[in-house]
Structure 1
Amino acid sequence: MKRIILPLIGAIALCLLPVFAAAAPLVAKVDISSQTMTVVYNGEVAYRWPVSTARKGKWTPRGTWSAKWLSRHHKSSLYNNAPMPYSIFFNGNYAIHGTNQISRLGRPASAGCVRLHPDHAARLFELTQRVGKQNMRVVIQN
Protein backbone atom coordinates (compact mmCIF):
# COMPACT_ATOMS: atom_id res chain seq x y z
CA MET A 1 0.00 0.00 0.00
CA LYS A 2 2.83 2.42 0.88
CA ARG A 3 4.41 1.72 -2.51
CA ILE A 4 1.33 3.14 -4.21
CA ILE A 5 0.47 6.03 -1.89
CA LEU A 6 3.89 7.70 -1.64
CA PRO A 7 4.45 7.92 -5.43
CA LEU A 8 0.86 9.13 -5.85
CA ILE A 9 1.37 11.88 -3.28
CA GLY A 10 4.64 12.87 -5.00
CA ALA A 11 2.94 13.04 -8.41
CA ILE A 12 0.12 15.18 -7.04
CA ALA A 13 2.61 17.52 -5.36
CA LEU A 14 4.53 17.97 -8.66
CA CYS A 15 1.31 18.79 -10.50
CA LEU A 16 0.38 21.40 -7.90
CA LEU A 17 3.75 23.23 -7.87
CA PRO A 18 2.64 25.86 -10.43
CA VAL A 19 -0.55 26.43 -8.40
CA PHE A 20 1.42 26.99 -5.21
CA ALA A 21 3.87 29.24 -7.07
CA ALA A 22 0.99 31.40 -8.25
CA ALA A 23 0.26 32.25 -4.61
CA ALA A 24 3.53 34.22 -4.40
CA PRO A 25 3.25 38.03 -4.62
CA LEU A 26 5.40 38.04 -7.77
CA VAL A 27 5.49 35.27 -10.38
CA ALA A 28 7.40 35.32 -13.67
CA LYS A 29 5.82 32.60 -15.84
CA VAL A 30 7.87 31.74 -18.90
CA ASP A 31 6.24 29.83 -21.74
CA ILE A 32 8.98 28.24 -23.85
CA SER A 33 6.65 27.42 -26.76
CA SER A 34 5.45 31.01 -27.20
CA GLN A 35 8.70 32.69 -26.01
CA THR A 36 6.75 34.91 -23.65
CA MET A 37 6.83 35.86 -19.99
CA THR A 38 3.70 36.69 -18.06
CA VAL A 39 4.34 38.63 -14.87
CA VAL A 40 1.72 38.17 -12.17
CA TYR A 41 1.95 40.75 -9.40
CA ASN A 42 -0.32 40.44 -6.36
CA GLY A 43 -2.53 37.95 -8.16
CA GLU A 44 -3.09 39.99 -11.32
CA VAL A 45 -1.40 39.87 -14.71
CA ALA A 46 0.77 42.98 -14.77
CA TYR A 47 2.90 42.42 -17.90
CA ARG A 48 3.32 40.12 -20.87
CA TRP A 49 6.72 40.39 -22.56
CA PRO A 50 8.64 38.58 -25.31
CA VAL A 51 11.68 36.61 -24.15
CA SER A 52 14.46 34.53 -25.63
CA THR A 53 15.21 31.16 -24.12
CA ALA A 54 17.69 28.47 -25.18
CA ARG A 55 18.64 28.21 -28.83
CA LYS A 56 19.09 24.85 -30.57
CA GLY A 57 21.66 22.71 -28.79
CA LYS A 58 21.19 24.55 -25.46
CA TRP A 59 18.68 24.08 -22.63
CA THR A 60 16.50 26.28 -20.46
CA PRO A 61 15.46 24.36 -17.33
CA ARG A 62 11.77 23.72 -16.67
CA GLY A 63 10.31 23.94 -13.19
CA THR A 64 9.54 26.32 -10.36
CA TRP A 65 12.08 28.24 -8.27
CA SER A 66 12.35 31.23 -6.02
CA ALA A 67 14.84 33.96 -6.84
CA LYS A 68 18.22 33.08 -5.29
CA TRP A 69 20.27 36.26 -5.81
CA LEU A 70 20.22 39.52 -7.72
CA SER A 71 22.96 41.32 -9.65
CA ARG A 72 22.18 44.68 -11.26
CA HIS A 73 25.32 44.95 -13.45
CA HIS A 74 26.24 41.30 -13.95
CA LYS A 75 28.72 40.09 -16.60
CA SER A 76 28.78 36.46 -17.66
CA SER A 77 31.71 34.46 -16.36
CA LEU A 78 30.84 31.71 -18.87
CA TYR A 79 30.32 33.72 -22.08
CA ASN A 80 33.07 36.32 -22.64
CA ASN A 81 31.84 38.83 -20.05
CA ALA A 82 28.56 39.24 -21.94
CA PRO A 83 26.40 41.88 -20.22
CA MET A 84 23.53 40.48 -18.16
CA PRO A 85 21.90 43.60 -16.68
CA TYR A 86 19.29 43.20 -13.95
CA SER A 87 20.01 39.51 -13.41
CA ILE A 88 17.68 37.47 -11.24
CA PHE A 89 19.39 34.12 -10.64
CA PHE A 90 16.98 31.28 -9.93
CA ASN A 91 18.83 27.99 -10.60
CA GLY A 92 22.62 27.84 -10.45
CA ASN A 93 23.99 29.88 -13.39
CA TYR A 94 20.52 30.34 -14.92
CA ALA A 95 19.00 33.79 -14.68
CA ILE A 96 16.38 36.10 -16.05
CA HIS A 97 18.24 39.16 -17.34
CA GLY A 98 18.29 41.98 -19.83
CA THR A 99 19.94 41.63 -23.22
CA ASN A 100 21.44 43.94 -25.83
CA GLN A 101 20.13 41.58 -28.53
CA ILE A 102 16.57 42.89 -28.38
CA SER A 103 15.93 42.10 -32.06
CA ARG A 104 16.10 38.39 -31.16
CA LEU A 105 13.44 38.56 -28.43
CA GLY A 106 10.44 36.37 -29.16
CA ARG A 107 12.50 33.46 -30.44
CA PRO A 108 15.10 31.07 -28.99
CA ALA A 109 18.53 32.73 -28.89
CA SER A 110 20.14 32.29 -25.47
CA ALA A 111 22.52 29.75 -24.00
CA GLY A 112 19.82 28.83 -21.49
CA CYS A 113 18.97 31.96 -19.55
CA VAL A 114 15.73 33.88 -20.02
CA ARG A 115 16.51 37.12 -21.85
CA LEU A 116 14.32 40.22 -21.61
CA HIS A 117 14.37 43.74 -23.00
CA PRO A 118 16.55 45.74 -20.57
CA ASP A 119 13.61 47.99 -19.60
CA HIS A 120 11.49 44.93 -18.76
CA ALA A 121 14.36 43.30 -16.88
CA ALA A 122 14.79 46.49 -14.84
CA ARG A 123 11.09 46.50 -13.97
CA LEU A 124 11.09 42.83 -12.92
CA PHE A 125 14.29 43.38 -10.93
CA GLU A 126 12.70 46.33 -9.09
CA LEU A 127 9.54 44.32 -8.34
CA THR A 128 11.68 41.45 -7.03
CA GLN A 129 13.52 43.84 -4.72
CA ARG A 130 10.18 45.25 -3.55
CA VAL A 131 8.62 41.87 -2.62
CA GLY A 132 11.88 40.16 -1.62
CA LYS A 133 13.64 37.26 -3.32
CA GLN A 134 11.84 34.72 -1.17
CA ASN A 135 8.48 36.02 -2.43
CA MET A 136 9.33 35.90 -6.14
CA ARG A 137 8.75 32.73 -8.17
CA VAL A 138 10.07 31.75 -11.58
CA VAL A 139 7.92 29.20 -13.39
CA ILE A 140 9.22 27.84 -16.69
CA GLN A 141 7.07 25.47 -18.74
CA ASN A 142 6.65 24.34 -22.30
Structure 2
Amino acid sequence: MALRLLAVLVVVLLTHLPETARADRIVARVSIAAQTMHVYRDGLLLHEWPVSTARAGKITPTGSWTAQWLSRNHRSSRYNNAPMPFSIFYHGHYAIHGTDQISRLGRPASAGCVRLHPENARLLFAMVQEEGTANMRVVIVN
Protein backbone atom coordinates (compact mmCIF):
# COMPACT_ATOMS: atom_id res chain seq x y z
CA MET A 1 0.00 0.00 0.00
CA ALA A 2 2.79 2.43 0.92
CA LEU A 3 4.57 1.63 -2.35
CA ARG A 4 1.42 2.37 -4.33
CA LEU A 5 0.93 5.68 -2.50
CA LEU A 6 4.54 6.61 -3.24
CA ALA A 7 4.06 5.78 -6.94
CA VAL A 8 0.95 7.99 -7.10
CA LEU A 9 2.82 10.82 -5.38
CA VAL A 10 5.71 10.54 -7.87
CA VAL A 11 3.30 10.65 -10.84
CA VAL A 12 1.54 13.72 -9.43
CA LEU A 13 4.84 15.53 -8.86
CA LEU A 14 6.19 14.65 -12.30
CA THR A 15 3.06 15.83 -14.08
CA HIS A 16 3.34 19.21 -12.36
CA LEU A 17 7.08 19.72 -12.85
CA PRO A 18 6.85 21.32 -16.31
CA GLU A 19 4.36 23.86 -14.98
CA THR A 20 6.59 24.66 -12.02
CA ALA A 21 9.67 24.86 -14.23
CA ARG A 22 7.94 27.42 -16.46
CA ALA A 23 7.34 29.88 -13.60
CA ASP A 24 9.11 33.21 -14.11
CA ARG A 25 10.11 32.45 -17.71
CA ILE A 26 10.17 36.22 -18.25
CA VAL A 27 11.65 38.57 -15.69
CA ALA A 28 11.56 42.35 -16.10
CA ARG A 29 14.01 43.83 -13.59
CA VAL A 30 13.71 47.59 -13.18
CA SER A 31 16.35 49.71 -11.48
CA ILE A 32 14.92 53.01 -10.26
CA ALA A 33 18.43 54.40 -9.63
CA ALA A 34 19.65 53.54 -13.14
CA GLN A 35 16.27 54.11 -14.87
CA THR A 36 16.75 50.89 -16.81
CA MET A 37 14.93 47.62 -17.35
CA HIS A 38 16.67 44.32 -17.96
CA VAL A 39 14.49 41.69 -19.59
CA TYR A 40 15.40 38.04 -19.08
CA ARG A 41 13.85 34.98 -20.68
CA ASP A 42 14.72 31.66 -19.06
CA GLY A 43 17.56 33.40 -17.20
CA LEU A 44 19.18 34.89 -20.33
CA LEU A 45 19.43 38.66 -20.69
CA LEU A 46 17.61 39.65 -23.89
CA HIS A 47 17.14 43.42 -23.55
CA GLU A 48 18.32 46.45 -21.64
CA TRP A 49 16.04 49.45 -22.09
CA PRO A 50 15.75 52.94 -20.63
CA VAL A 51 12.61 53.55 -18.58
CA SER A 52 10.94 56.33 -16.67
CA THR A 53 9.71 55.64 -13.17
CA ALA A 54 8.05 58.00 -10.66
CA ARG A 55 8.92 61.66 -10.74
CA ALA A 56 9.41 63.69 -7.53
CA GLY A 57 6.36 63.47 -5.29
CA LYS A 58 5.18 60.17 -6.81
CA ILE A 59 6.10 56.56 -6.01
CA THR A 60 7.06 53.52 -8.02
CA PRO A 61 6.78 50.73 -5.45
CA THR A 62 9.71 48.37 -5.05
CA GLY A 63 9.22 44.63 -4.76
CA SER A 64 8.49 41.55 -6.82
CA TRP A 65 5.17 40.66 -8.45
CA THR A 66 3.66 38.31 -10.97
CA ALA A 67 2.05 40.06 -13.93
CA GLN A 68 -1.70 40.25 -13.35
CA TRP A 69 -3.34 41.30 -16.62
CA LEU A 70 -2.66 42.83 -20.02
CA SER A 71 -4.33 45.71 -21.87
CA ARG A 72 -3.16 46.50 -25.41
CA ASN A 73 -4.76 49.95 -25.76
CA HIS A 74 -5.25 51.03 -22.16
CA ARG A 75 -6.14 54.58 -21.18
CA SER A 76 -5.51 55.97 -17.70
CA SER A 77 -8.60 56.45 -15.58
CA ARG A 78 -6.50 58.54 -13.15
CA TYR A 79 -4.57 60.87 -15.45
CA ASN A 80 -6.80 62.51 -18.09
CA ASN A 81 -7.29 59.42 -20.24
CA ALA A 82 -3.54 59.34 -20.99
CA PRO A 83 -2.55 56.56 -23.41
CA MET A 84 -0.85 53.53 -21.84
CA PRO A 85 -0.24 51.24 -24.83
CA PHE A 86 0.81 47.64 -24.25
CA SER A 87 0.14 47.75 -20.51
CA ILE A 88 1.26 44.91 -18.27
CA PHE A 89 -0.40 45.43 -14.88
CA TYR A 90 1.51 43.92 -11.99
CA HIS A 91 0.42 45.63 -8.73
CA GLY A 92 -2.97 47.29 -8.46
CA HIS A 93 -3.00 50.25 -10.85
CA TYR A 94 0.77 50.04 -11.49
CA ALA A 95 1.85 48.85 -14.92
CA ILE A 96 4.71 48.65 -17.37
CA HIS A 97 3.54 50.41 -20.53
CA GLY A 98 4.54 52.37 -23.59
CA THR A 99 4.73 56.15 -23.56
CA ASP A 100 4.61 59.01 -26.04
CA GLN A 101 7.08 60.86 -23.77
CA ILE A 102 10.07 59.17 -25.39
CA SER A 103 12.43 62.10 -24.75
CA ARG A 104 11.93 61.61 -21.00
CA LEU A 105 13.02 57.96 -20.94
CA GLY A 106 16.10 57.43 -18.82
CA ARG A 107 14.95 59.77 -16.05
CA PRO A 108 12.07 59.88 -13.55
CA ALA A 109 8.95 61.26 -15.22
CA SER A 110 5.94 59.04 -14.54
CA ALA A 111 3.18 59.11 -11.95
CA GLY A 112 4.43 55.74 -10.70
CA CYS A 113 4.18 53.31 -13.59
CA VAL A 114 7.20 52.06 -15.50
CA ARG A 115 7.26 53.73 -18.91
CA LEU A 116 8.98 52.23 -21.95
CA HIS A 117 9.51 53.18 -25.57
CA PRO A 118 6.33 51.97 -27.33
CA GLU A 119 8.25 49.49 -29.50
CA ASN A 120 9.92 47.97 -26.45
CA ALA A 121 6.57 47.84 -24.66
CA ARG A 122 5.05 46.09 -27.69
CA LEU A 123 7.84 43.51 -27.71
CA LEU A 124 7.58 42.80 -23.96
CA PHE A 125 3.76 42.64 -24.21
CA ALA A 126 4.02 40.04 -27.00
CA MET A 127 6.46 37.97 -24.94
CA VAL A 128 4.08 37.97 -21.97
CA GLN A 129 1.11 37.14 -24.22
CA GLU A 130 3.05 34.16 -25.55
CA GLU A 131 4.20 32.86 -22.14
CA GLY A 132 1.20 33.93 -20.05
CA THR A 133 1.03 36.42 -17.19
CA ALA A 134 1.65 33.68 -14.61
CA ASN A 135 5.11 33.17 -16.16
CA MET A 136 6.20 36.81 -15.92
CA ARG A 137 7.80 38.39 -12.89
CA VAL A 138 8.28 42.13 -12.40
CA VAL A 139 11.09 43.05 -10.01
CA ILE A 140 11.62 46.68 -9.08
CA VAL A 141 14.62 47.72 -7.02
CA ASN A 142 15.96 51.07 -5.88
Residues 9-48 of structure 1: pairs in structure 2 closer than 5 A: 24-48=24-48
Structure 1 residue 86: deviation in Å?
0.1
Distance 1:42 1:75 in 2: 31
Amino acid at match of 2:86: Y
Structure 1 residue 89 corresponds to structure 2 residue 89: yes
SS of corresponding position for 2:37: strand
Q: Which residue of 1 aligns with 2:12?
A: none
Distance 1:131 1:139 in 2: 17
Q: Which runs of 5+ in 2 are unaligned?
A: 1-22
Aligned residues: 120
Q: Which runs of 5+ in 1 are unaligned?
A: 1-22
Which of the pair has more CA radius of gyration?
2
Q: Percent identical across equivalent pairs?
A: 65
Distance 2:128 2:88 in 1: 8
SS of corresponding position for 2:34: coil
Structure 1 residue 24: deviation in Å?
1.5
Distance 1:24 1:134 in 2: 7
Deviations 1:5-64 (A, max 9, x none): xxxxxxxxxxxxxxxxxx611000000000000000111000000000000000000000
Distance 1:24 1:65 in 2: 10
Distance 2:63 2:90 in 1: 10
Distance 2:24 2:128 in 1: 11
Distance 2:42 2:68 in 1: 20
TM-score by length of 2: 0.84
Distance 1:109 1:68 in 2: 24
Q: Which residue of 1 aligns with 2:124?
A: 124
Q: Which residue of 2 aligns with 1:17?
A: none
Distance 2:89 2:136 in 1: 11
Distance 1:133 1:81 in 2: 25
Amino acid at match of 1:77: S
Distance 1:57 1:105 in 2: 18
Deviations 1:79-113 (A, max 9, x none): 00000000000000000000000000000000000
Distance 1:24 1:55 in 2: 29
Runs in 1 of length 4+ with deviation above 4 angstroms? none
Distance 2:107 2:35 in 1: 6
